[in-house]
Structure 1
Amino acid sequence: MAANDLKATASVAEREGRSPLGFQDADEVLPQYHIEAQTSLVERPLRSLKFGEAFAVLDSYGDIGVLPGPEGLYFQDTRYLSRLHFTIEDQRPLLLSSVMQDDNGALSVDMTTPDIRIDAQDETSIPRELIAIERTKFLFRGACYDRIGLRNYDSRHRHLTIALTFDADFRDLFEVRGMDRAHRGKRSVQIASESEVQFRYVGLDEMVRTTNLHFGPKPKHIEPGKAVFRVSLAPGEKSSLFIRVVFESHRAYTSAPAAERVGEDAAAGLSEAAGSNAGPRHPRGLAEGVIFARAYRDSRRDLRQLTAGITTVISSNDQFNEAACRATADLYMLASRTPEGIYPFAGIPWYSTVFGRDGIITAMMALWIDPKFGKGVLRYLASTQAKAADPSADAQPGKVLHETRRGEMAMLGEVPFRHYYGTIDGTPLFVMLASEYYAVTGDLDTVRAIWPALELAIEWMDKHGDRDGDGFVEYARDTDKGLENQGWKDSHDSIFHTDGSLAKGPIALCEVQGYVYAAKNGAAKLASMLGHDEMAEQLSRQAKALRKAFDEAFWCEEIGTYALALDGEKRQCAVRSSNAGHAFFTGIALPERAASVAANLLSKDGFNGWGVRTIARGEARYNPMSYHNGSIWPHDNAMIALGLARYDLKAEAARIFEGMFDTALYQDQKRLPELFCGFMRRRQRGPVSYPVACSPQAWAAAAPFAFLAACLGIELQHDRNRIRFRNPVLPAFLDGISIFNLKLGDSRLDLRLQRYGEDVTVNVLKRKGDAQVSLLK
């Protein structure tokens, strides 16, 4: 590093309160499952589509792979289409607009022709802006549909050559993320007909994956990686081109009966509605335009069905309404149907699959909007709960799934994530969600159905989770391929001591003890309700003892907050972190600690003006550009806000909400990202983006509703048939908010909350049912 560069680095580090050179010691290798980045996702806006287990990452034109990056059409953790580039007379069109429809159902792109010189010698040309180009793309049941509409606004007849170049590399998602492989399967490509090209990949896992591109009308010329069309347009005439990309997978040797093969898919827990694992079937000879229209109609119906009857909000602030609309659309785009119900996949592009922790937290934050998420997550995780010990998957009986993958590398064991259980917090969070879900819905049938899984989870916490019998739940991986850190901050360097040295396990995380405390309190209520009185009493006693022990072991007077963790020697990691805010969320924090912890979180070292940092400025490994050591995560802040509200620190919760709303205003589509950098807020500048953040991300999408619930103090109490607003406040950017179709049991209510000075009132606009509404000051 040059001397000037070193001085500049040191200067920035000094302003940010961190070590100039950080702690990337010589013996620290590149972290596991690192997401490699030569380019930033911030450089160009990307567009995402998703249906079931398939998703597409597109550039603003709706193209794929024109520039290096994660663009592609993916299915079951495999990239089925790595390039799709549209040109007109060998040039890229001029982009006019690129927007996701309000419900994320399709991408709409408007373009026009650039200045085109057909022949340099005779200067025959087409001036720009004469041909309008409208592109619509969406995913639905095993296919990506693409319509390119053209209209001639010239007074002359125009003849145009349009080309599409395409490719399918069948790379595993972990390869796209940067992992190298010594061996791969065999890929081939063939022209299947005068309007169809097929790519085929026979993987080392004996799976055959195919990508079929269907074109309509028939191209003038077709070859393995290119289709060329000749389009003639009279003045004012319209024409359309259609591209349908069908993706499928099946075993290379299908000697097993079809029913058995379906059973294998069901065992994976990700079977969708008809057509998710096989491309849609259409009558032979049906025009591509008709196929497109029918699929578009059916996709709209499917989305309306998925979102029917949900709770919605409209506020006095139009920009917040846009952000809430986008958040709702993101939640339902990421929702995937499983045999057990809908499950929110974690995020696009890197985590579009089931994650236990992410799904649980998303469902918790969205409970008052739509409890279907909670039901689907509970049933799915109960069905995939570990039944036996498997060190290669970090599994023990009763442990809840962390992650599942269906790509070639997972199937071959090159990565351990086919069914991976390396999470320390998923199991107590699972129990916690069950109790909260019942409190809101009173759904006794679901609780009874998953009760055996809840009992196993509780047993796991006591037997396997508490490795040394000290009453705290700790983690240590059982396989070298597993994650080194197994809390939500799972970076290799996220748990450390005051001097920056990495903590050695088994590690007891601050927030996990809170999750266990809340889980046992919640399970005690469920056990009592089901008539297991002795178990209920025992769980209540354990929760009470844990709260006392937690305060004694984790409170650190020196830093004025709870320690990040205890290492294997029970030494405190005396580091100021956002984890301490989760002690509010779960209620394990003693009331007398609340003011100090809140002041810590909202100090200039903790709160940068946009949100609470994961690690406070000035700590040894603080780096505002890191994944977990100084960045800001919306879901983390939402859980902290819910916790602050629980301790009646509503002004503090509203302050975080305001920072996050301001953040959304600077984001593309007003969408909160997975995370962003923790640099201090500066006047007339927005927050600094993280280069490879997922967007959309499920728990970030659910965060606005959690912030709103925190500030309004929403409590849905099914057992009392009561909706209560406990000491509600409205942040400065909201004067009022209307909630439509809020559900409690058989009741449905429309409500209006309005600020008058420092007070907030609630009025019932419409009521169906006998649920009571109250406001508690």
Structure 2
Amino acid sequence: MDDSYSVQTTAAETGETGGLDTLQALKDGDTFLVADGWGDLKGGADGLFDSDTRLLSRFQMTAGMARPSRLSSGVSRDNVFFTAHSTNRPLPPMGGRSAPAGVMHIERRRFLWNRRMFERVRMVNHGVEDVLLPLAFDFAADFADIFQVRGTLREKRGTVHTPTHDGRRVTFRYTGLDNVERTSCLSFSEPPARLSGTRAEFMFSLPMGKRLDLYIECGGEACTTPDPLRWRESALAARLSMRRRRRRGASLRGPRSPMFNAWLDQSRADMALLTTDLPTGPYPYAGTPWFSTPFGRDGILSAWQMLWLDPSLARGVLTYLAARQATEVSAFHDSAPGKIMHETRGGEMSALHEVPFGLYYGGVDTTCLFIALAGAYARRTGDLDLIRKLWPNLVAASEWMRDYGDSNGDGLIDYARGADTGLSNQGWKDSEDSIFHRDGRFPKGPIALLEVQGYAYAAWLAMADLGARLGDARAQAWEDHAHEVRFLVEDRFWMEDEGFYAIALDGDGEQCRSIGSNAGHLLFSGLPSKARAERVTRRMLSSEFRSGWGLRTLAKGQARFNPMSYHNGSVWPHDTSIGVAGMARYGERDAVSTILGEIYTAASHFQMRLPELFCGFDREPGEGPIAYPVACLPQAWAAGSAFLMLQASLGVDVNALDGVVTVANPTLPTGVDRLTVSELRVGTSKVDLIFERIGEGTVLMPRGKQGDIRILTSR
């Protein structure tokens, strides 16, 4: 329609090279900012967002009526500061001869704190004469919903009011169709020479060798005049908050492996960046820019990846999701009593139900994973008090599995979306073309995904174990249900001629005989027999799956295989990590260590920050992995993949219920000869684990053991 409203993003708008890989992201709580390499916002996929609403859509700086020449830019290792260094182009004459290019150093330094953007523009004159520097900012606030920014059309929207300005402040207002008035305010420490609702112009006089700072703030609350003290105090608070999040749980260090340490540090920093401290505890948001919000599946798997080092994430995730468990049937929200949330959003479109994602339950696996994580958390921590508090939620989730998750009564968890506005595929591979028959046909619903049955198996076993510990008489029935699921999967999904499991069953019970990485998730659950697990492992380690940079989501040669696709042949680090952890569960170590090394090498080509996914082309000598152009960066479960793969390689299992840490046949990745796990806490006890390569093997040397904890080793 001609009057539809949408924010369209073109490649040319997204960065210097035309790709999203040039965008830089900051995040604090529910606020995030995406800008190009100069620090500019240009109204495409970028902006300052809070609670899924864009508060600042345009913010571009010019020096002397031209964009400055960029020298370098990037985000600090701790993910707190974005800094762009640039220099001036030739400046226009101002009462005399013009200043030449390259005499002014202009630094833009920016961070987020307490739902506000703080920016300092530092100008230093390195020339031999005094300089008059014209500096200008063009700005706008469109208050677009995150789904509009992603390209969803709206037939109409609310009213964007004319900005008001007063001295050094500009206030933007928008009245939404939900009758909520949203505001943002942009303020400067110095009064501009000219100020309008869209532009601020300054004229700075800088003597040679002198420095001048301009402070800027933008947020959704009332304007406060920026000043150096507010900048320093807020910057310190932001840095200390990030440091606390990074230092939760045990730490990992390779004393003779600086590059490997850099990867671990970046991964830990990315997890800390994406983790928001909510009233229910820490929760890892999925990723920026599009998924900076709590997701059920992503939060659970990210917490599971970190569980052996930092159980606080799992506690926070379980508590948050329990508080948002569905209590009613809704086709629009894909909800039913006991089901666990898939996604939540806070913008206008969600509030108006233009999209179902305000509180959306269209994930078939999240409820099973919720129970399974609770079982893993209890085993890792011994924290049965939390389990008792969550027990009604866990029982309700198991009742959803029994009463709603199995729509056709065949004993398997399946899905079919409740409304056309929902997701058509509801496993982790949720793109429309990700589940198909061997000939490429899309299956009729309801669809029973392979990996979801593994999650269900783990969930029933968790209910049985926890129920027995809490004295629930239903424990044996839950264990029986787990064995029934195991029998059904082995009977109906296994393809003897392929030595592999079908990716799904369609609504007629017919196998979707595609060969996908979903089988690695089944290994992670522990469902397959040892003999079948070994056959799956061999095939997943073949060139069909292995790209040299990790495991592909779909084997080469399958219908719809495309290494440049989202789910049909690309490499997702989290998917690889779950697959290799599944292999390790059945005793594989050497191959796990090798693939860990491949993912580590891939990370080195992405500046030590693993993206959400990258293309699944074969590794070529002297070349790096090929980026997927619109991958989220950073992404929580991509960052967490390093730690799950390390746990799998080291063979570490923590059982706080029995006070035991078991290390089975540890292996260090290539290039790492020594690794220390410091302050590993087990209940009230703690220990340091030192792994060292000696000859062809790796040995464990426990140190500093405090408390009643046993260390067992096996080979």
Distance of 1:633 and 1:37 partners within structure 2: 25
Between the aligned partners of 2:195 and 2:353, the Cα distance in structure 1 is 39
Q: Which residue of 2 aligns with 1:500?
A: 440
1:112, distance to aligned residue in structure 2 (A)? 2.0
Q: Distance in 1 between matches of 2:251 and 2:140?
A: 42
Letter in 1 for 2:165: A
Establish whether residue 201 from structure 1 lines up as the match of residue 139 from structure 2. Answer: no
Q: Which residue of the other structure, out of 23, 27, 36, is the alignment partner of 1:46?
A: 23
**Residues 542-581 of structure 1: matches in 2 within 5 Å?**
542-581=481-520
Q: Counterpart in 1 of 2:3?
A: none
Kindly indicate whether residue 87 of structure 2 is the aligned counterpart of residue 87 of structure 1: no
Q: Mapping of 1:158-307 within 5 angstroms?
A: 158-248=131-221, 288-307=227-246
- 1:126 maps to 2:99: yes
Q: Which amino acid aligns with 2:67?
A: R
| 1:250-308 residue CA offsets vs partner (Å, 9 max, x unmatched) | xxxxxxxxxxxxxxxxxxxxxxxxxxxxx6x86xxx65222222211222232233344
CA contact (8 A) 1:650 1:711 kept: yes
Cα shift at 1:608: 1.3
Q: Assess, with a 3 A threshold, how the Cα gap between structure 1 residues 123 and 595 changes in structure 2: closer, same or farther.
A: farther
The aligned amino acid for 1:446 is L
- 2:634 maps to which residue? 696
Secondary structure, counterpart of 1:670 in structure 2: coil
Q: Are 2:361 and 1:421 equivalent residues in the alignment?
A: yes
Deviation at 1:123, TM superposition (A): 8.7
The equivalent residue for 1:726 is: 664
Of 656, 677, 697 in structure 2, the residue corresponding to residue 739 of structure 1 is 677
Aligned to 1:673: 611
Q: 1:472 to 1:307 in 2, by over 3 A?
A: same
Counterparts of residues 194-593 of structure 1 (less than 5 Å)? 194-248=167-221, 288-315=227-254, 316-532=256-472, 534-593=473-532
The alpha carbon displacement at 1:190 in A equals 2.7
Instruction: Answer whether contact 1:44 1:59 (CA < 8 A) is retained.
Output: no
Q: How many angstroms apart in 2 are the aligned matches of 1:684 and 1:380?
A: 46
Residues 725-773 of structure 1, C-alpha deviation per residue, up to 9 Å, x if partnerless?
1111112132111112211112232321111122111123433333232
Write the letter of the residue equivalent to 1:156: E
Report if aligned partners of 1:740, 1:750 keep a CA contact under 8 Å in 2: yes
Instruction: Name the residue aligned to 2:557.
Output: 618
Q: Secondary structure at the match of 2:425?
A: coil
Note closer, same or farther for the CA distance 1:34–1:674 as it changes in structure 2 (3 Å cut): farther
Is the CA contact 2:11–2:19 (under 8 Å) kept in the aligned structure 1?
A: no
* Contact 2:7 2:44 survives alignment (8 Å): no
CA contact (8 A) 2:446 2:507 kept: yes
Instruction: Read off the aligned partner of 2:202 and give its amino acid letter.
Output: F
Q: Which residue of 1 aligns with 2:701?
A: 763
Q: Are 2:78 and 1:76 equivalent residues in the alignment? A: no
Residue 463 of structure 1: how far off its partner (Å): 1.0
**SS of 2:600's equivalent?**
helix
Range 43-52 or range 55-64, more displaced: 43-52
Pair 1:607-2:580 in alignment: no
CA offset at residue 698 of structure 1?
Answer: 0.7
Residues 354-398 of structure 1 deviation map (CA, whole Å, 9 limit, x = unaligned): 110000000000112211110010000000000111111110100
| Contact 1:189/1:198 (<8 A) preserved | no
CA RMSD of aligned residues (A): 1.8
Q: Aligned partner of 1:729: which letter?
A: T
Q: 1:168 to 1:235 in 2, by over 3 A?
A: same
- Distance change (3 Å), C-alpha of 1:34 and 1:684: farther
Alignment gaps of 5+ in structure 2: 1-5
CA distance 1:521–1:287, change in 2 (3 Å): closer
TM-score normalised by the chain length of structure 2: 0.96
Q: Which moved more, 1:729-738 or 1:502-511?
A: 729-738
Aligned partner of 2:89: which letter? P
Structure 1 pair 425–37 and aligned structure 2 pair: CA distance change class (3 A):
farther
- TM-superposed deviation, 1:636: 0.4
Q: Which residue of 1 aligns with 2:83?
A: 108
Mapped partners of 1:610, 1:35: distance in 2:
33
Structure 2 counterpart of 1:253? none
| Count of residue pairs the alignment pairs up | 705
Q: 1:610 to 1:133 in 2, by over 3 A?
A: same
Q: Note the residue ranges of structure 1 that are not aligned, 5 or more in a row.
A: 1-32, 249-278
- Kindly indicate whether the alpha-carbon contact (under 8 Å) linking 1:360 and 1:429 is maintained by their aligned counterparts in 2: yes
1:117–1:123: 8 Å Cα contact kept in structure 2?
no
Contact 1:559 1:575 in 2 (8 A): no
Quick one: which amino acid aligns to residue 677 of structure 2? I
Indicate conservation of the 8 Å contact 2:64/2:91, yes or no: yes
The whole-number CA distance in structure 2 between the counterparts of 1:61 and 1:681 is 33
* 3-state SS, counterpart of residue 93 of structure 2: strand
Report the residue type matching 2:564 in the other structure.
M
SS in 1 for 2:243: helix
Rounded to whole Å, the distance in 1 between the matches of 2:91 and 2:539 is 61
The change in CA–CA distance for 1:114 and 1:738 in structure 2 (over 3 A counts) is farther
Instruction: Report the identity percentage.
Output: 41
Q: 3-state SS of the aligned residue for 2:680?
A: strand
Q: Deviation at 1:34?
A: 14
Quote the Cα distance in structure 2 between the aligned partners of 1:36 and 1:581. 36
| 1:173–1:407 Cα contact (<8 Å) kept | yes
Return the alpha-carbon distance in structure 1 between the equivalents of residues 187 and 84 of structure 2: 21
For 1:55-66, what aligned pairs fall within 5 Å after superposition?
55-65=32-42
Cα distance in 2 for residues equivalent to 1:563 and 1:394: 26
Structure 2 residue matching 1:327: 3-state secondary structure: helix
**How much does 1:348 deviate?**
0.5
Partner of 1:661: 600
Q: What residue is the counterpart of 1:6 in the other structure? A: none
Q: What SS does the aligned partner of 2:220 have?
A: strand
Amino acid at match of 1:623: N
| Partners of 1:620 and 1:37 in 2: CA distance | 30
- d(CA) in 1 for partners of 2:135 and 2:523? 59
The separation in 2 between residues aligned to 1:559 and 1:692, in whole angstroms, is 34
Q: Which amino acid is 1:247 matched to?
A: G
Change beyond 3 A, Cα 1:100–1:612: same
The Cα of 1:117 is off from its aligned counterpart by 4.5
Change (3 A) 1:774 1:37: farther
Task: Give the letter for the 1:199 counterpart.
Answer: F
State the shift of 1:721 in Å: 1.5
Partner Cα separation in structure 1 for residue 669 and residue 589 of structure 2: 10
Q: Judging changes above 3 Å, is the alpha-carbon distance between structure 1 residues 609 and 333 closer, same or farther for their aligned structure 2 residues?
A: same
Structure 2 CA distance for aligned equivalents of residues 398 and 725 of structure 1: 37
The secondary structure found in structure 2 opposite 1:636 is: helix
Instruction: Note if contact 1:89-1:118 (Cα within 8 Å) is conserved in structure 2.
Output: no
Q: Distance in 1 between matches of 2:207 and 2:249?
A: 47
Distance 2:69 2:371 in 1: 53
Distance across 2 between alignment mates of 1:767 and 1:94: 55
Q: TM-score, normalised by structure 1?
A: 0.88
Aligned-pair CA distance for 1:36:
7.2
Secondary structure of the 1:498 match is coil
AA matched with 2:116: A
